[in-house]
Structure 1
Amino acid sequence: MAGRRYDESDVRIRPGRGSRPRTKQRPEHADAEQALVTGVDRGRYAVLVDADGPGERRTVAMKARELGRERVVPGDVVDLVGDTSGDEGTLARIVRITERRTVLRRTADDTDPVERVIVANADQLVIVTALADPEPRTRMIDRCVAAAYDAGMDALLALTKADLADPADLVGLYAPIGVRVVVTQTRADGTIAGLDDVLGALDGRTSVLVGHSGVGKSTLVNALVPDAQRATGVVNDVTGRGRHTSTSAVALRVPATPDPTWVIDTPGVRSFGLAHVDPQHLLGAFADLAAVAEDCPRGCTHAADAPDCALDDWVAQDPSDTARAARVDSFRRLLASRLGTAD
């Protein structure tokens, strides 16, 4: 039997990967809907479409390829395309991250060049600290305050377990640097005394809560947001440290406030690196000192050992004005935290 004769019509050429012309143009996604990112879990993002609006609905989204390695975090306002109905099994795409008002970052330590974005668009940083069990760590508080000021955020110090220790010393330490302080304690029936003061400080704002494990952060969040069901832990009697109970950052709406209010709960931290903070930016949080420092010699670090620093001259002009000395000491304490020279 004679074999089949082939001709050019029998040839099939598969196009190579480079045969399709590439373009740098990207879709405009003019029909995208805005949404608030409330949580992140293994490449999937919990988002709230039309947050606080009449069409509010929850859905799940993934990050579009064109965003590359750009990190999406709780508090981000993003543009969504695809199925944004929120029906079971649907998945939308995040195609844009809108401009962030504030960005809270931290590094692993003061020498780590890699900074990690924690949350976006928060108005204030709430530093949750126990007055005892575990003992308060002022260096940690200082570092968080420095990070908040660098990010353009307000700082709020929430002191818990006031039934175990007097808050007066910490209040006196942080009031001079503009840190608002609220004090709480858990009553015998499980309710929290001082919760109204906390709600008043949070009302109408987006606040991110940070703190060591075991300081009562999750307990406070559960009181603010009864449906949150954040896991709570205990403090180890040997190490004095708490067990990590919150495993991921999540944005939660606070229901008992007149204005729309959000808190972003974060996992407990043991350190707060400030490698990303420019020491010169800290001075901007002290408007009165910044004006005085304009008379400093060029290159002045404003630290306690800085020669001919105008801040020292300003304090010396009126030794009876203890508020001046307190302000300078407070600023230099934050500066020392950034420079790693704190005691």
Structure 2
Amino acid sequence: MNRTPRPQEIPARVIESFGRRVRIEMPDGTRCAAELFGRRLSVVCGDEVRVRPSSRGDAPRVVAVAPRRTLFARTDSRGRTEPLAANLSLLAVIVAPQPTPDPFVADRYLAGAAYAGIEAAVVASKTDLPDAATPPFVELLAEYEQAGYTVLRTSATTGAGIDALRGLLDGQLAMLVGQSGVGKSSLTNLLAPESGRLTRTLSDATGEGRHTTVSTALFKVPSGGELIDSPGVRDYAPALVDDATVQQGWKEMVGLAPQCRFHNCLHLREPGCAVRAAVESGDIAARRYESYKRLLNIMRDLAPEYERRRP
């Protein structure tokens, strides 16, 4: 917010965003719709802003955005950064036995959190389903635990693990992310009853989730903390980073990288690589290593696309 606030402007926070439509919360707890002042102004859920009340009784106008402590974002198909939420302190990546999990999407969410300086955890939902006990899902959760992430096992149906999840969220501004259909809205309804998020069953035709959440919105958790629920996705790529930074999204690599022979090792074919040695010994999951290489290639592919389209 590189401007001097005017006397008639008051602080507020964005609690819901859908395109250029937003809802804000005033310091006294009042919530209302607001308009963005000017085409260049861009806000996301969690942003701290200044608003100017309307003298005609219309919706107040958001006129400025405060500097963000953190910004969680993604890269679109043209290599452009798209902000998703501001000032997060925790990203909770939801995985479920149904629909069939895409661990590479979950890995990229975890990496995106690391690049933004946001703590991350993995939350397994729908653990009451029989598929939750199958080797692929059990092994997936074990991989994340091996990598050093907090992993919670929950069920919105039975209530298992919900108290532990509340404890994780206490004192945090957290965002729930994951594939469509993993149960984010069901968990949100349990954690923040005010949300009233719609929930639906998986598509009978595809077995994939439908997008039941259409806007990104912030809710208070009565037991402590706040959470942001966002629309589910079928894919996600973090904001663009360079080759050397990609590995920072893999916790298990960060501690080993200093042991590599070369300080700029990318853990691909370089001799004396401590990370590849850990993969061969089983100390780093082979699937996680392959996921790292995939993201490295994605970042390399998107960077030229961005450069070509940049004004």
- Please, what TM-score do these two structures have when normalized by structure 2? 0.82
Match of 1:15 in 2: none
Query: How far, CA to CA, are the matches of 1:176 and 1:282 in structure 2?
Result: 19
Query: How far, CA to CA, are the matches of 1:58 and 1:103 in structure 2?
Result: 23
Task: From 252, 271, 277, give the equivalent of 2:241.
Answer: 277
What secondary structure is seen at the aligned counterpart in 2 of 1:215?
Answer: coil
- Structure 1 runs of 4+ aligned residues shifted over 6 Å read none
How far did residue 35 of structure 1 move?
1.2
Amino acid at match of 2:241: V
Q: Map residues 1-80 of structure 1 onto 2, 5 A cutoff.
A: 28-41=5-18, 43-50=20-27, 55-65=28-38, 68-80=39-51
Query: How far, CA to CA, are the matches of 1:46 and 1:172 in structure 2?
Result: 40
Match of 1:106 in 2: 74
How far did residue 81 of structure 1 move?
2.2
Which has a greater percent of helix?
2
How far did residue 63 of structure 1 move?
1.7
Query: How far, CA to CA, are the matches of 2:165 and 2:126 in structure 1?
Result: 14
How far did residue 271 of structure 1 move?
0.7
Asked if 1:170 is matched to 2:143, the reply is no
CA shift in 2, pair 1:221/1:26, >3 Å: closer
CA shift in 2, pair 1:64/1:100, >3 Å: same
Match of 2:213 in 1: 246
Query: How far, CA to CA, are the matches of 2:208 and 2:214 in structure 1?
Result: 16
After superposition, give the CA deviation of every residue in 1:3-25 in whole Å (9 maximum; x if it has no partner). Answer: xxxxxxxxxxxxxxxxxxxxxx9
CA shift in 2, pair 1:175/1:30, >3 Å: farther
> Is there any run of 5+ residues in structure 2 with no aligned partner, and where?
299-311
Query: How far, CA to CA, are the matches of 1:102 and 1:217 in structure 2?
Result: 22
> Is there any run of 5+ residues in structure 1 with no aligned partner, and where?
1-24
What secondary structure is seen at the aligned counterpart in 1 of 2:274?
Answer: helix
CA shift in 2, pair 1:146/1:27, >3 Å: closer
How far did residue 106 of structure 1 move?
1.1
Query: How far, CA to CA, are the matches of 1:70 and 1:332 in structure 2?
Result: 39
Asked if 1:307 is matched to 2:270, the reply is yes
Task: From 79, 82, 107, give the equivalent of 1:142.
Answer: 107
Amino acid at match of 1:72: V
Match of 2:170 in 1: 203
How far did residue 297 of structure 1 move?
5.5
Measured on the aligned residues, the alpha-carbon RMSD in Å equals: 2.8
What secondary structure is seen at the aligned counterpart in 1 of 2:190?
Answer: helix
Match of 1:18 in 2: none
Asked if 1:193 is matched to 2:160, the reply is yes
Query: How far, CA to CA, are the matches of 2:217 and 2:139 in structure 1?
Result: 32
CA shift in 2, pair 1:186/1:73, >3 Å: closer
CA shift in 2, pair 1:57/1:145, >3 Å: same
- Given that 2:156 and 2:186 are in contact with CA atoms closer than 8 Å, whether structure 1 keeps it comes out as no
Task: From 66, 81, 87, give the equivalent of 2:52.
Answer: 81
- Please, what TM-score do these two structures have when normalized by structure 1? 0.75
CA shift in 2, pair 1:197/1:333, >3 Å: farther
Match of 2:117 in 1: 152
Match of 1:229 in 2: 196
How far did residue 116 of structure 1 move?
0.9
Task: From 90, 93, 115, give the equivalent of 1:127.
Answer: 93
Amino acid at match of 1:107: T
- Given that 1:249 and 1:266 are in contact with CA atoms closer than 8 Å, whether structure 2 keeps it comes out as yes
Residue identity (%): 31
Query: How far, CA to CA, are the matches of 1:310 and 1:331 in structure 2?
Result: 16
CA shift in 2, pair 1:82/1:27, >3 Å: farther
Query: How far, CA to CA, are the matches of 2:285 and 2:243 in structure 1?
Result: 15
Query: How far, CA to CA, are the matches of 2:3 and 2:184 in structure 1?
Result: 43
How far did residue 154 of structure 1 move?
1.5
- Which entry has the higher C-alpha Rg, 1 or 2? 1
Match of 2:308 in 1: none
